[in-house]
């Protein structure tokens, strides 16, 4: 490498080190939270466990093959010890159970679909928590800046009061009032810094990294034109409603499965074995006889009486179905209520911002006027401090109202079921729940299917 090339490289490194770190946007915060969340990872594992329930239900229709080895020793009184050894390979399979196994498979599939929607709900919660943490830090930063500016203004006011006291224009009481207000503002600044540190800790817990620098929030997301339209979208796409619908469908299948428990079961068995036992023929020596055996059979069985167990199971399934239906109705109403509340919050925040803007304008005009009048002796120091405090409070309320308006938009998206990585177009790879399901739904056992499953697990680990 030439000397010139090295100098250029050193210059580029110096420039990179001197450049400030890129500010985190709201999208960056959401992406970091999505990738960092242990709660999402936990519920992905719950979904994979539900996928395995489908595999277990499928496996119930397949043969069960097992081997049994036995060794026995028997000694009669006054006789010798006789030992026997056997090895048996047995196979049994359910040939027909009048739909019980298929109903179990269908019910497990419905539970998988319900668990997928539960995962979407967790994703929404994580992204909403990230959004709240982002706006909380932004609001805290603005409140700190506002309090710092107020401390600077009051410091100048206090110095002006001291100068006027020195020339005899005001009394020591006016100086004390300025000192008290300055101390109160410094205390408010300390509290604002404390809230900022707390907000940053919340951001760290959600996103997995420090909120050193945040960019300005993006433009507000586009919302439906009317409340009724927002409610229709929520009823159609909210994951809690979709999950409850799947659980209600699974409960319906559960009733049919409980009724099918009364049906007969036709099963087949086959076995081969080897038995080694002492010779028993008259005049034989002490050798052993080895015999081979094989058998096949069919078995048709049905429970005629179970002490009321099957009837109780059927009644329980019907009660669980009624519970699932009521839960679906209740969740639907709760989602509709949440949409209405968040819609109202947006309207309230907008009205507050409009009113506070007018308040700030009037408070600023009043502060400027009182300050000028105080210089002419027409107003006291207390009047100046009161008008400055009113202006400060109005500006602080404006920051809070703007933060509430921003957050309320994303809360409404969550209430409609649209606060997801896919709908927000965050541009990152997302978890594909069908990938693992496709690898295990047929209850794989062979090495080729096992290798495919290993690849799926590795891919899930990278996500």
Q: 70 near 85, Cβ under 8 Å?
A: yes
72 shares its domain with 128: no
Residue with tokens 């043969």: 63
Q: What is the CATH number of the domain that holds 286?
A: 2.20.200
- pLDDT tens for 132-181 read 999 999 999 999 999 998 898 888 888 888 887 888 877 888 889 888 98
154 shares its domain with 219: yes
Backbone angles phi, psi at 80, to 5 degrees: -100, 165
Whether 1 maps to a domain, the answer reads no
135 Cβ contact list (under 8 Å, min separation 6): 217, 403, 406, 407
Q: Which two tokens stand for residue 318?
A: 């019907």
- Answering whether pTM is above 0.85, one says no
255 shares its domain with 207: yes
Domain count, the chain: 2
Whether 203 maps to a domain, the answer reads yes
pLDDT for the residue numbered 9:
45
Q: Say yes or no to pLDDT of 108 above 50.
A: yes
pLDDT band, very low/low/confident/very high, at 280 (cuts 50, 70, 90): low
21 Cβ contact list (under 8 Å, min separation 6): 212, 213
Q: Say yes or no to pLDDT of 122 above 90.
A: yes
pLDDT for the residue numbered 207:
93
CA 74/CA 87 separation, integer angstroms: 18
196 shares its domain with 288: no
* Beta-carbon count within 10 A of 277 CB: 15
Whether 132 maps to a domain, the answer reads yes
Closest listed residue to residue 217, CA positions, set 125, 134, 127: 134
Q: What is the CATH number of the domain that holds 313?
A: 1.20.1600.10
pLDDT for the residue numbered 421:
94
- pLDDT tens for 336-371 read 999 999 999 999 999 999 999 999 999 889 888 988
155 shares its domain with 44: yes
255 shares its domain with 354: yes
Whether 444 maps to a domain, the answer reads no
CA 251/CA 249 separation, integer angstroms: 5
In sequence order, what DSSP letters do the residues of 35-71 get, joined into one string?
HH-HHHHHHHHHHHHHHHHHHHHHHTTS-EEEEEEEE
pLDDT for the residue numbered 165:
84
Give Rg (Cα) of the chain.
Answer: 38
- Mean pLDDT across the stretch 255-266? 92
pLDDT band, very low/low/confident/very high, at 459 (cuts 50, 70, 90): low
Whether 195 maps to a domain, the answer reads yes
Q: Which DSSP symbol is given to 270?
A: E
- Mean pLDDT across the stretch 116-139? 95
CA 164/CA 170 separation, integer angstroms: 6
251 shares its domain with 292: no
- Mean pLDDT across the stretch 4-14? 40
209 shares its domain with 69: no
The whole domain housing 79 covers: 65-96+266-301
H or E stretch including 289? strand 288-301
- Mean pLDDT across the stretch 443-454? 63
CA 63/CA 267 separation, integer angstroms: 10
Q: Say yes or no to pLDDT of 460 above 80.
A: no
86 shares its domain with 154: no
Whether 233 maps to a domain, the answer reads yes
Stronger pLDDT, 448 or 329, i.e. the higher one? 329
105 shares its domain with 144: yes
Q: What is the mean pLDDT of the chain?
A: 86
Residue with tokens 């009823």: 235
Whether 11 maps to a domain, the answer reads no
Q: 180 near 382, Cβ under 8 Å?
A: no
Exposed, middle or buried by CB within 10 Å (0-12, 13-18, 19+), for 321? buried
CA 264/CA 273 separation, integer angstroms: 29
pLDDT band, very low/low/confident/very high, at 453 (cuts 50, 70, 90): low
In DSSP terms, 93 is beta-bridged to 268
CA 460/CA 463 separation, integer angstroms: 5
104 shares its domain with 118: yes
Whether 414 maps to a domain, the answer reads yes
- Mean pLDDT across the stretch 257-276? 90
pLDDT for the residue numbered 76:
74
* Beta-carbon count within 10 A of 428 CB: 12
251 shares its domain with 288: no
pLDDT band, very low/low/confident/very high, at 452 (cuts 50, 70, 90): low
- Mean pLDDT across the stretch 106-131? 95
């Amino acid at each position: 490498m030439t000397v010139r090339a090295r100098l250029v490289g050193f210059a580029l490194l110096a420039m990179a080190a001197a450049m400030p770190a890129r500010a985190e946007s709201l999208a960056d915060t959401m992406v970091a939270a999505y990738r960092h969340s242990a709660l999402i990872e936990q519920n992905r594992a719950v979904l994979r466990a539900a996928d395995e329930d489908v595999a277990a239900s499928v496996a119930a229709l397949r043969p069960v093959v097992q081997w049994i080895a036995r060794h026995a020793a028997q000694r009669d009184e006054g006789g010798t010890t006789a030992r026997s050894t056997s090895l048996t390979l047995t196979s049994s399979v359910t040939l027909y159970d009048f739909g019980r196994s298929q109903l179990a498979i269908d019910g497990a599939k419905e539970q998988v679909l319900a668990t997928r929607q539960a995962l979407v709900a967790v994703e929404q919660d994580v992204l909403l928590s990230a959004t709240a943490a982002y706006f909380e830090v932004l609001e805290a930063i603005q409140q700190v800046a506002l309090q710092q500016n107020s401390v600077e203004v009051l410091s100048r006011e206090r110095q002006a009061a001291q100068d006027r006291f020195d020339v005899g224009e005001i009394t020591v009481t006016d100086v004390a009032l300025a000192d008290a207000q300055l101390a109160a503002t410094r205390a408010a600044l300390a509290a604002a810094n404390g809230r900022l540190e707390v907000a940053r800790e919340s951001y760290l817990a959600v996103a997995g990294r420090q909120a050193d620098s945040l960019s300005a929030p993006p433009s507000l997301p586009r919302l439906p034109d009317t409340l009724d339209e927002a409610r229709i979208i929520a009823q159609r796409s909210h994951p809690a409603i979709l999950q409850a619908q799947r659980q209600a469908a699974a409960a319906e299948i559960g009733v049919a499965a409980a009724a099918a428990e009364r049906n007969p079961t036709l099963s087949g068995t086959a076995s081969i074995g080897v038995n080694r036992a002492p010779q028993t023929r008259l005049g034989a020596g002490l050798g052993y006889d080895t015999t081979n055996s094989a058998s096949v059979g069919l078995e048709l069985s049905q429970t005629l009486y179970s002490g009321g167990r099957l009837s109780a199971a059927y009644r329980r399934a019907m009660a669980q179905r009624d519970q699932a239906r009521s839960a679906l109705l209740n969740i639907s109403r709760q989602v509709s209520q949440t949409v209405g509340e968040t819609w109202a919050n947006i309207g309230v925040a907008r009205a507050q911002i409009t009113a506070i803007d007018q308040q700030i304008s009037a408070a600023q005009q009043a502060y400027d006027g009182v300050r000028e009048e105080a210089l002419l002796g027409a107003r006291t120091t207390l009047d100046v401090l009161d008008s400055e405090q009113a202006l400060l409070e109005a500006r602080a309320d404006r920051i809070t109202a703007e933060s509430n308006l921003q957050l309320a938009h994303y809360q409404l998206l969550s209430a409609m079921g649209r606060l997801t990585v896919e709908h927000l177009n965050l541009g990152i790879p997302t978890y594909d729940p069908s990938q693992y399901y496709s690898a295990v739904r047929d209850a794989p056992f062979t090495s080729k299917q096992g290798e495919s499953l290993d690849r799926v697990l590795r891919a899930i680990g990278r996500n």
